[in-house]
Amino acid sequence: MALSERCGTTSNYIGQIEMGRRVPSFEKIEEIAAALGVDSFRFFMGENAAENRETALDARGFLKKLPGAAKKEIISRLMAAIMGNITASLDPENYPLTK
């Protein structure tokens, strides 16, 4: 069975996505991923999964070499940024009601 049939679309539409002429909705990305039997996040990982893995390993090696104080500073700044985003997302002023 063709991919287009498995995800409820046409082969023309799939071809246009492959050539970069169409951008699928998030829902269609989920359908395509399910039809292929993969997690949809893999479509956003770049062209080379091994390269992504290698980059992650390089970052881990770099972090392991940092002094403890630098690691604490990085963690502190990351936590502050995360908390700032969470706080902003909970602020009702960021979600004005529309009629």
Name 46's Cβ contacts closer than 8 Å, sequence gap at least 6. 52
List the structure tokens of 93. Answer: 């002023």
pLDDT category, 44, cuts 50, 70, 90?
A: confident
pTM above 0.75, yes or no: no
- pLDDT value at position 99? 46
Asked if residue 52 has pLDDT above 90, the reply is: no
Inter-CA distances, 4 with 8, 17, 20, 29, 33, Å: 6, 11, 16, 12, 12
Per-domain residue ranges for the chain? Answer: 3-44, 49-91
Q: CATH assignment of 3-44?
A: 1.10.260.40
Report d(CA 11, CA 65) in Å as an integer. 50
